[in-house]
A and B are shown apart, each in its own frame.
Chain A
Amino acid sequence: MNRVLFNIDREVLDQIHTNSLELLKESGIRFPNQEALEIFKRHGFKIDGEMVFFQQKDIEKALETIPETFELHARNTANSFLIGDDSYRMAPGYGPPFIIETSGEMRPALLADTQKFCKLVQTSKALDFNSSIVAQPNDVPPQTAHLDMLLSTILLTDKPIMGSTSSKACAQDSLELAKMIWGNTDKAVMLSLVDSLSPLQYAQKSVEALLVYARAKQPLLIHSSCSMGSSGPITIAGSLVISNACSLAGICLTQLVNPGTPIVYGLGGSPTDMRTGGYVNASPEDAKHTAIVTALGHYYHIPCRSQGALTESFCLDYQAGMESSMMLTTAALSGAHVCLHACGTYGSMLAMSFEKFLADEDLCCAIKKLVKPIEFSKENFAMDMIKRLGTSGNYLLEQHTADRCRSEFFIPDLNIRNIHSKWVKMEPRNMDQRASQLLKKRLSAYEKPDIDPSIERDLIKYVENKK
C-alpha cells in the first residue's frame, strides 16, 4: 500500500521550490554567527553583513549529499530504527514549561515530571524515541537544565534520544554525554532540532548548535515555521515559501560543514489568531502545511518531520481529540517519517499532561495501524476457509482467527468499546480519570533499563561537575 495518500501536484512543488530559490537569491537569510559566515564566505557565497545569499546550484549540491535514510541508534540496539523508510517514528512533547492537571490547574513543570514522562516513553508502545525536553523543568537552574533532562532521558530510557540545541555549550554537553555511551562514533546516536527564526533568519545560538552537531555528523532536524499573518504571510503559499527558503538555507550550511550529515526536513505554519495575536496550532491550516511539507520532503528525497497530536484545548475533551487526530492523521497519510509532539501536549504546546499523553498513545497506535501496509497474501485472503465455511460459518471458532486475534486489530488501552449497560456502571467513566488510573499502573510497572554501572557513574559525574 502506498502510504502517501494525499497527492500534491508536482507543478505546485516546483513552484514552491522555485519561489524559495528566488527568496534565497534575492532576499537572503540572516545568519548572525561569525563562524557560519566564515564558512559561507569560504565557499564563495555572496554575503552582505549577516545576510547570506544562495544560488540554485548551492542548494542543489547540498540536497545531493543528504542521505535518503539513516539509522538512529539507541543505547539498547533493539530500539534502533531507520528514519526515512515507510515507518512513522514518534517522540513525545518537546519544550512545554507547564503541566496541566485533571483539575484544570496549570503549574510549572518540575524535573520529577520530566522523569515521569521518561518512564512513560520507555514503556510506550507508541513512541519510538524520546524528546530532549519532554517538559522544561522550572525547579532547576535554566543554565544547566539541559544536563538534568539529558541525564534523565539517557538513564530512564534506552530508546534513541535527542540532543539539546539551546546553545553551543548545550550541544557540546549533549555530545560529551553521548561519547560516554558510544565512544567517538560517526553513527547517528542523537537527533537534534534546530529551528529557524521567522522571517528569513536563524538565531545565533541555534546556528552555534547546528555547527557543533554537523561537525560531529550527528543528524539534525532543520525546522522552520512561521506564525501566519504575523511572522510570515497570512497565506499558506507564502508561508510555505518563506519557511522552505529558511530550512533549505540551514540544510545547506550543514552540508557545507560536513557533507552527508543526516537531515530530517521540516516546515510548519500556524495561523495567528486574528482576534488575539496569539499563536494557534492544530488548525486545518497546520494540517494542510503538514501535507504539503511532507510532499516537499519526498520531492527533495529527505526524511521529513510532521507536527504531532497538537491541540489548543486544555483538557481531554472533544476539541483535544478532534484537533490531535486531524493533525496526526493528515501527517501519517501524507507520508511523514518523524513526528515530534506525538503525545501529551495541550494549549499550543505550552503545557504537558500525563492524561493527554496516555490518550495520545492510543491515537498514535491507531495511526500506526492505519498506515501499516495491508498484506494481500494467500493466508490473508483465506480463500480456502471462506469457501469451506460458506454461509453458516462461525469464524470465531477458526484457528485462523485465534492466531491473529491479538495482532490483527488495533486494541486501545483507554478508548472504550463497551456496551451501554456496562458503560453506565463503569467507575471511573471519564477518560481523564481512566487515564489517571492507567498512569499509576504504568508507573508502577516501570523498570529502569540496564546500563553499565561505570558508564552511569561517568554520566552522573559529568553532569555534577558541570553544575
Chain B
Amino acid sequence: MAISDILNAVVELDRIAVVENVKTAIIDGVPFDDILNKGLIASMDVVGERFSNGDIFVPEMLQAAKAMQAGLEVLKPHLTCDVLTQKGTVIIGTVKGDLHDIGKNLVSMMVEGAGFNVVDLGVDVDIEKFVSLTQTHNADVVCLSALLTTTMPTMAKIVEAFKESGLKAKIIIGGAPVTDAYARQIGADGFSDNAPGAVELIRRLIAA
C-alpha cells in the first residue's frame, strides 16, 4: 500500500477506497504519522490547490473532505491526542446578530481538512463566547464571519475584547462585505475572501 493511494482516493472523492486504503496501510505497518500527514492531510492540500485553480467545485471539495474525515476516523484510535491538536486549534463562528453560515461552514471544513483542531461555534455567537472558548481551548486562531454590514462592527468589538482580555490568539475575518482594508482598520490579523485562502492564512499565522 503506497501512501499515494490514500492521497489519490481522497482526490478522486472515493470514500470507500480511502477507508480501505487507510486500513491496509495500518496493517502494512505504515507509520501512523505518515498516513496522517503524507496521506490524508496532503490530499486536502492537493484538493485545496485544485479548488483554487477552478479545477474542482465546492461540493466536490466537500466530498473530498468527507472522504478524508472517514479515513481519519479509521486512523484516530491509533493516534495520540497530541498529533491531532499539535497543528493548532482554530475557533470559528458567525458573529452576534448574523445567521449566515455557508461561507463559515466552507472555511470550517477546509481548515479541519488541513489537520487543525476546529471548534465551530455556529452562528449568532456572543462576544463573550468567543473570548471564553478561546481561553478554554487555548486556541491559536479565531475566524470571524459576517454577511451583514450591520453585524460587521461586532468584529471590531471582538478584536477589542481580545485585547482587553490579553488573549494572544490571532483573529482573522471574512464574509461578503468584509474587506482587507476593514481587517486592517479594526486591527484583525488577516482576511481571506475564500476558504483555501483562509487555510493558507491560518498556516502562516500559526507558523509565525
The answer to whether A279 and B58 touch (CB under 8 A), given A166-B150, A272-B102, is no
Contacting pair B58 A97 (CB below 8 A) = no
Q: Give bound CA distance, A136 to B177, whole Å.
A: 11
Specify the chain B residue showing the minimal Cβ separation from A230.
B102
Q: Which of B157-177 touch A at CB < 8 Å? A: 176-177
- Please give the distance in Å from A170's CB to the nearest CB on chain B: 10
Contacting pair A138 B59 (CB below 8 A) = no
Q: Give bound CA distance, A98 to B149, whole Å.
A: 10
Contacts of A98 in B (CB 8 A): 177
A274 touches B (CB below 8 Å): yes
Contacts of B194 in A (CB 8 A): 276-277
**Residue interface mask B34-52, A partner, CB < 8 A = 1:** 0000000000000000000
Specify the chain A residue showing the minimal Cβ separation from B107.
A277
**Residue interface mask B63-107, A partner, CB < 8 A = 1:** 000000000000000000000000000000000000100110010
- Please give the distance in Å from B183's CB to the nearest CB on chain A: 14
The answer to whether A277 and B149 touch (CB under 8 A), given A229-B59, A272-B58, A350-B177, is no
The answer to whether A138 and B54 touch (CB under 8 A), given A98-B177, A230-B102, is no
Set A142, A274, A350: member contacting B176, Cβ < 8 A:
A350
User: Considering only CB atoms and an 8 Å cut-off, how many residues of chain B contact the other chain?
Assistant: 16
B187 touches A (CB below 8 Å): no
Set B102, B153, B177: member contacting A231, Cβ < 8 A:
B102
Main secondary structure of the interface of B (DSSP, over half): loop
Q: Give bound CA distance, A279 to B58, whole Å.
A: 12
Contacts of B106 in A (CB 8 A): 277
A216 touches B (CB below 8 Å): no
Q: Give bound CA distance, A39 to B178, whole Å.
A: 38
**Residue interface mask A388-402, B partner, CB < 8 A = 1:** 000000000000000
The answer to whether A277 and B99 touch (CB under 8 A), given A98-B177, A166-B150, is no
- Please give the distance in Å from A399's CB to the nearest CB on chain B: 56
Contacting pair A97 B177 (CB below 8 A) = yes
Contacts of B102 in A (CB 8 A): 227, 230-231, 272, 277
Contacting pair B195 A142 (CB below 8 A) = no
A197 touches B (CB below 8 Å): yes
Set A97, A197, A230: member contacting B99, Cβ < 8 A:
A197
Q: Give bound CA distance, A203 to B99, whole Å.
A: 8
Q: Which of B120-179 touch A at CB < 8 Å? A: 149-150, 153, 176-177, 179
Specify the chain A residue showing the minimal Cβ separation from B179.
A106
Set B54, B103, B153, B177: member contacting A277, Cβ < 8 A:
B103
Q: Give bound CA distance, A74 to B149, whole Å.
A: 29
Q: Give bound CA distance, A12 to B194, whole Å.
A: 38
**Residue interface mask A235-278, B partner, CB < 8 A = 1:** 00000000000000000000000000000000000001111111
Contacting pair B99 A275 (CB below 8 A) = no
Contacting pair A276 B99 (CB below 8 A) = no
Specify the chain A residue showing the minimal Cβ separation from B62.
A277
Contacts of A231 in B (CB 8 A): 102
Contacts of A203 in B (CB 8 A): 99
Set A106, A136, A274, A278: member contacting B149, Cβ < 8 A:
A136
Q: Give bound CA distance, A227 to B103, whole Å.
A: 12
Contacts of B57 in A (CB 8 A): 274-275
**Residue interface mask A268-302, B partner, CB < 8 A = 1:** 00001111111100000000000000000000000
Q: Which of A306-322 touch B at CB < 8 Å? A: none
Specify the chain B residue showing the minimal Cβ separation from A205.
B97
**Residue interface mask B165-208, A partner, CB < 8 A = 1:** 00000000000110100000000000000110000000000000
- Please give the distance in Å from A258's CB to the nearest CB on chain B: 27
Set A166, A197, A275, A348: member contacting B58, Cβ < 8 A:
A275
Q: Give bound CA distance, A273 to B153, whole Å.
A: 27
Q: Give bound CA distance, A231 to B103, whole Å.
A: 11
Q: Interface residues, chain A, CB within 8 Å of chain B?
A: 97-98, 106, 136, 138, 142, 145, 166, 197, 203, 227, 229-231, 272-279, 348, 350
Q: Interface residues, chain B, CB within 8 Å of chain A?
A: 54, 57-59, 99, 102-103, 106, 149-150, 153, 176-177, 179, 194-195
17 more A-B residue pairs beyond the given contacts A197-B99, A273-B58, with a C-beta to C-beta distance below 8 A: A136-B149, A136-B150, A138-B149, A142-B149, A227-B102, A230-B102, A274-B57, A274-B58, A275-B54, A275-B57, A276-B58, A277-B58, A277-B102, A277-B103, A277-B106, A350-B176, A350-B177
